[in-house]
Structure 1
Amino acid sequence: MQIKLPAGDSAGTVTSFYMSSQGSNHDEIDLEFLGNVTGEPYVLHTNVYTQGQGQREMQFYLWFDPTAAFHTYSILWNPYYILFYVDKMPIRLFSNEEAIGVPYPKNQAMMVYGSIWNADDWATQGGRVKTNWNSAPFVASYSNFKATPCPRQSHDLMRQVDEGTRKTMNLLQKKYMIYNYCTDTRRFPEGLPRECPTENVKFK
């Protein structure tokens, strides 16, 4: 999907592009853009829900002005992993870790959604900055949506993420990632979720 985000003071708003199934045990793959006060950067908030359970947030600053022009945001979802892309550059990987007991979204059909909504209880600086309704209307533009099914014969080729993709993703994360639930030991004092690597993570 190509999206151009609301310009100016968009604090408190969330513009979203996401996939979701239905029901209390739904699966969901989120790209949410957290509005800003004028001059501050947008935050891209990503999350993955499996069987109704989320809390797998990773957040990034965007390295461009997402209000000045359309940019492309993509989700690659197959039985083995989910990859999030910004302008064809990989920023996040969520792998199928069912072998260690982590549910993975692969058994429920999902639809695609786009929305803009008020979330000033949490969206901008943890809810400290509220929506300025004098700046309304808040307008997000969506364009050129494409959905491409993965050919069945290509599944063997898609089991692993290639090293070039991983290297690019790691570089972008080092430069632009501002929150990773897999390093938030205060939030998970009893231990990080099973899918999280624990190397170089110190519990407090």
Structure 2
Amino acid sequence: MACRFLYTPAAALVALLLQAAAASATFPADGGLLSRPAAAALSFEEGYTQLFGDSNLRLHGDGKRVHISLDERTGAGFASQGAYLHGFFSARIKLPSDYAAGVVVAFYMTNGDVYEKTHDELDFEFLGNVRGKEWRVQTNVYGDGSTSVGREERYGLPFDPTQDYHRYAILWTNRTIVFYVDETPIREVVRSEAMGLQFPSKPMSLYATIWDGSSWATSGGRYKVDYKYAPYVAEFDDLLLRGCASSSSSTGACELPEEDYMDSGERSAMERFRARHLTYGYCYDRARYPAPLSECRVGAEAAMYLPSGDRRRRGKRHRRAGAEDSAI
């Protein structure tokens, strides 16, 4: 059975979801997706299940805040109890402070437990760094097991993500994927014929994990996790599940507005964020992709990027290609 979003102009719909997430509000009653109470009101036991980490996962605030930690023994993680085909998924997250090189905190959607060789995935990956260097955020999109075709983008942040909670969100529809930081869209992936099955199209569950990424996460593995600073604790609050529930026997599609999900102001905000904070883009990575992937539209701004896809540092004229921190 298909489920429906309340038909609202698309940009207003997303704003409504973000506002409701912040307020843990309920939505207008129309018998559809937005008629149900916001999932941020669910306790952990009602909406999620622990994946690993035993005592490294702790609940706070009547089970509505989740702390997951990494120490020498293990990391930790949890997942939604159900799978969803399209929707809006978000959490307020506070990252570990101090020295966090090699630490990876992930907030993502995947169906790898069901489709081992043809899985889909939508990622926020938060990459720790040495003291004095900021955390970086990476987004990625996989479809139909296309792990050999990475669509990574990496960004700096205009705030310190260790000092307070900030909201990270994924909007996933049949035709578009939008990543948000707080209420600002930072990336849009539009479905195209050329992408084919590489556009995620199967039901996915929501996951959150913290783990040791020493082999790759900071300067390509140059800096490792230093456990004298452990435990590294990532805090999750206001976890929001606003999707069409799906099961192995029923994969009904969501009926979503077909119009643009961003108005002109939001699109301008996205372009400003990307101009200021995008530090790596797969569309500019000429080493991996001598011919850009079909969805890439590369213009004069490509001169701002090294052949590795990393952004040139301002004022640095003589740097070897690939000298930027790499998470790939």
Are positions 1:156 and 2:250 aligned together? no
Partner of 1:32: 125
For the pair 1:198 / 2:298, whether they are aligned, the reply is: yes
- Is residue 173–residue 256 contact of structure 2 (8 Å, CA) maintained in 1? no
Identity of aligned residues (%): 38
Structure scoring higher RCO (CA < 8 A, sep ≥ 6) equals 1
Q: Secondary structure at the match of 1:2?
A: strand
Q: Where do residues 22-101 of structure 1 align in structure 2 (5 Å cutoff)?
A: 22=112, 23-54=116-147, 55-97=150-192, 99-101=193-195
Task: Using the TM superposition, give the Cα deviation of residue 101 of structure 1 relative to its aligned residue in structure 2, in angstroms.
Answer: 4.1
Decide which of 87, 90, 93 is 1:3's aligned counterpart: 93
- Measured in 2, the distance between the counterparts of 1:101 and 1:3 equals 31
**Quick one: distance in 2 between partners of 1:126 and 1:74?**
27
Does residue 127 (structure 1) correspond to residue 221 (structure 2)? The answer is yes
How far is 1:149 from its partner?
A: 3.3
CA distance in 2, matches of 1:94, 1:173: 14
User: In the TM superposition, what whole-angstrom CA distance separates every residue of 1:26-53 from its partner, at most 9, and x where no partner exists?
Assistant: 0000000000111111100110001111
In the TM superposition, what whole-angstrom CA distance separates every residue of 1:110-152 from its partner, at most 9, and x where no partner exists?
Answer: 0000000001111112211111111111111111111223795
Contact residue 155 and residue 279 of structure 2 kept, 8 A: yes
What is residue 21 of structure 1 aligned with on the other side? 111
Query: What is the TM-score normalised by the length of structure 2?
Result: 0.58
Out of 263, 269, 278, which is 1:168 matched to? 269
Structure number with bigger Rg: 2
Q: Is contact 2:109-2:121 (8 Å) kept?
A: yes
CA–CA separation in structure 2 for the residues paired with 1:11 and 1:199: 34
CA distance in 2, matches of 1:122, 1:83: 26
* Structure 1 counterpart SS, 2:275: helix
SS at match of 1:126: helix
Superimposed CA distance per residue, residues 30-89 of structure 1 (whole angstroms, 9 cap, x where no aligned partner)? 000000111111100110001111410000001111111111000011111110000111
SS of the aligned residue for 1:149 comes to strand
- 1:162: Cα distance to partner? 2.9
- Give me the whole-angstrom Cα distance separating, in 2, the residues matched to 1:188 and 1:154: 33
For structure 1, the 5+ residue unaligned runs are none
Q: Write the distance in 2 (CA, Å) between the matches of 1:69 and 1:160.
A: 28
Shift of 1:156: 2.8
Paired residue secondary structure (1:155): coil
* Structure 1 counterpart SS, 2:140: strand
Equivalent residue, structure 2, for 1:186 = 287
TM-score (structure 1 length as normaliser): 0.91
The 1-side partners of 2:195 and 2:271 are apart by: 25
Displacement after TM superposition at 1:154 (Å): 4.2
In structure 1, distance between residues paired with 2:295 and 2:238: 34
1:12 pairs with one of 92, 95, 102:
102
Aligned pair 1:109/2:203, yes or no?
Answer: yes
Deviation at 1:21, TM superposition (A): 1.0
Once residues 121 and 89 of structure 1 are traced to their aligned partners in structure 2, the CA distance between those partners, rounded to angstroms, is 31
RMSD between superposed Cα atoms in Å: 2.0
